[in-house]
Amino acid sequence: MVGPVVGHVDGASARLLFRPAAESQTLRLRVLDESTEEVGTFDAVTSAEDDYVAKFHVPGLKPATRYTYRITRIEGGEETVAAEGPDLSFRTASLDRSGGRVTACFTSCVDIEENPMWADIGAIDPDTLFLMGDTPYIDSSDLGVVRKRHRDFLAMPGLRELVRHIPTVGTWDDHDFGRNNGNGLNMAEGKGRTRRGFVEYRAHGRYGDGEGGVYHSVDLGMMEVFLLDPRYFSQTEPSPVDPSQPTCFGKGQWEWLLRGLSASKAPFKVLAMGAIWQDKKNSETDDMFTYWYERDALLDFAAEQGIEGVVLLGGDIHVARHLVHPLRLGYDLHDFVISPGHSRTITSLDVFHPSLRWSLVEGQQFLSMTADGTLEDPTLVVRFSQGGRKVNREVVLPLSGLKPRKRAGLARDLRAHWTFDDGFAQSGPLGETLDAVPHGSPSIARGAGRFGGAVRLERSRSQFLSVPGAAVDDNSDEHSVALWIKPSGLPEHGTAERQFLLESTAEGKPSQAQAWHLSVGLRACADPELVNLQLYTHTLRPAAAAQGAPTSQSQGPFDCPVPRSTFDRWTQVAAVFDSKSWTLYVNGEQAAVHTLPMPGPASEMGGLILGGHREGTGRGFDGWLDEVAIWARALSGDEIRSLVNAENSPLRRQ
Contacts of 568 (CB under 8 A, 6+ apart): none
- Structure confidence at residue 653 as a pLDDT band (50, 70, 90): low
Q: Is the model's pLDDT at 210 over the cut of 70?
A: yes
Chain segment 224-244, per-residue pLDDT in tens: 999 999 999 999 999 999 999
- Structure confidence at residue 604 as a pLDDT band (50, 70, 90): confident
Task: Indicate the residue type of 103.
Answer: T
What's phi and psi for 152, nearest 5 deg? -65, -35
Contacts 24+ apart (CB under 8 A), 31-36: 31/58, 31/61, 31/67, 31/68, 31/69, 32/67, 32/68, 32/69, 33/62, 33/65, 33/67, 34/65, 34/66, 34/67, 36/68
- Structure confidence at residue 544 as a pLDDT band (50, 70, 90): confident
Report the predicted TM-score, pTM, of the whole model to 2 decimal places. Answer: 0.95
* Cross-strand pairs, 584: 575, 592
Whole-number pLDDT of residue 422: 85
Mean pLDDT calculated for residue range 438-443: 95
Task: Indicate the residue type of 310.
Answer: V
Report the DSSP pairing between strands 623-631 and 479-487: antiparallel
Q: Is the model's pLDDT at 363 over the cut of 60?
A: yes
CB 566 within 8 A of CB 625: no
In 411-553, alpha helices (H): none
Residues of the chain with pLDDT > 70, as a percent, come to 100
What's phi and psi for 566, nearest 5 deg? -55, -35
CB 264 within 8 A of CB 256: no
Contacts of 205 (CB under 8 A, 6+ apart): 8, 10, 13, 15, 216
- Structure confidence at residue 415 as a pLDDT band (50, 70, 90): very high
Q: Is the model's pLDDT at 651 over the cut of 90?
A: no
Mean pLDDT calculated for residue range 515-533: 93
* Cross-strand pairs, 523: 498, 532
Whole-number pLDDT of residue 640: 95
98 exposed, middle or buried (CB, 10 Å; 0-12, 13-18, 19+)? exposed
Q: Which CATH class is domain 102-402?
A: alpha beta
Chain segment 254-279, per-residue pLDDT in tens: 999 999 999 999 999 999 999 999 99
Mean pLDDT calculated for residue range 455-479: 93
Whole-number pLDDT of residue 192: 97
Query: What's the CA gap between 236 and 186, in Å, rounded?
Result: 10
Q: Is the model's pLDDT at 77 over the cut of 90?
A: no
Q: Which CATH class is domain 409-653?
A: mainly beta
Q: Is the model's pLDDT at 187 over the cut of 80?
A: yes
Rounded to 10°, the helix 292-304/251-263 angle is 20
Whole-number pLDDT of residue 514: 73
Q: Is the model's pLDDT at 400 over the cut of 90?
A: yes
What's phi and psi for 292, nearest 5 deg? -55, -30
Three-class HEC string of 226-261:
EECCCCCCCCCCECCCCCCCECCCCHHHHHHHHHHH
Chain segment 370-392, per-residue pLDDT in tens: 999 999 999 999 999 998 889 99
- What's the distance, CA 519 to chain centroid? 27
Nearest partner of 51 among 224, 196, 232, judged by Cα: 196
Whole-number pLDDT of residue 546: 87
Q: Is the model's pLDDT at 479 over the cut of 60?
A: yes
CB 264 within 8 A of CB 244: no
- Structure confidence at residue 202 as a pLDDT band (50, 70, 90): very high
- Which strand (E) or helix (H) includes residue 144? helix 143-154
Whole-number pLDDT of residue 512: 80
Task: Indicate the residue type of 211.
Answer: E
Whole-number pLDDT of residue 510: 85
Query: What's the CA gap between 474 and 477, in Å, rounded?
Result: 9
What's phi and psi for 411, nearest 5 deg? -75, -15
- Which strand (E) or helix (H) includes residue 552? strand 551-558
- Altogether, the residues listed in the chain come to a count of 654
- Structure confidence at residue 511 as a pLDDT band (50, 70, 90): confident
Whole-number pLDDT of residue 509: 85
All structural domains of the chain with their residue ranges: 1-92, 102-402, 409-653
CB 368 within 8 A of CB 391: no
Mean pLDDT calculated for residue range 114-128: 95
Whole-number pLDDT of residue 654: 55
Query: What's the CA gap between 441 and 189, in Å, rounded?
Result: 63
Q: Is the model's pLDDT at 616 over the cut of 90?
A: no
The C-alpha torsion from 605 through 607 and 608 to 609, rounded to 10°, is -130
Chain segment 347-359, per-residue pLDDT in tens: 999 999 999 999 9
Report the DSSP pairing between strands 128-132 and 101-107: parallel
Strands laid side by side in the 268-272 sheet? 216-219, 223-227, 268-272, 310-314, 333-337, 320-325, 356-360
Q: Is the model's pLDDT at 589 over the cut of 90?
A: yes
Whole-number pLDDT of residue 421: 92
Average pLDDT of the chain, as a whole number: 94
Q: Is the peptide bond before 246 cis (omega within 30 degrees of 0)?
A: no
Whole-number pLDDT of residue 258: 98
Whole-number pLDDT of residue 46: 95
Mean pLDDT calculated for residue range 7-14: 96
Chain segment 300-355, per-residue pLDDT in tens: 999 999 999 999 999 999 999 999 999 999 999 999 999 999 999 999 999 999 99
Task: Indicate the residue type of 311.
Answer: V
Whole-number pLDDT of residue 456: 97
Query: What's the CA gap between 476 and 470, in Å, rounded?
Result: 11
Architecture of the 1-92 domain: Sandwich (2.60)
Nearest partner of 367 among 342, 337, 346, 388, judged by Cα: 337
Q: Is the model's pLDDT at 650 over the cut of 80?
A: no
Mean pLDDT calculated for residue range 17-39: 94
Q: Is the model's pLDDT at 561 over the cut of 70?
A: yes
Query: What's the CA gap between 606 and 432, in Å, rounded?
Result: 16
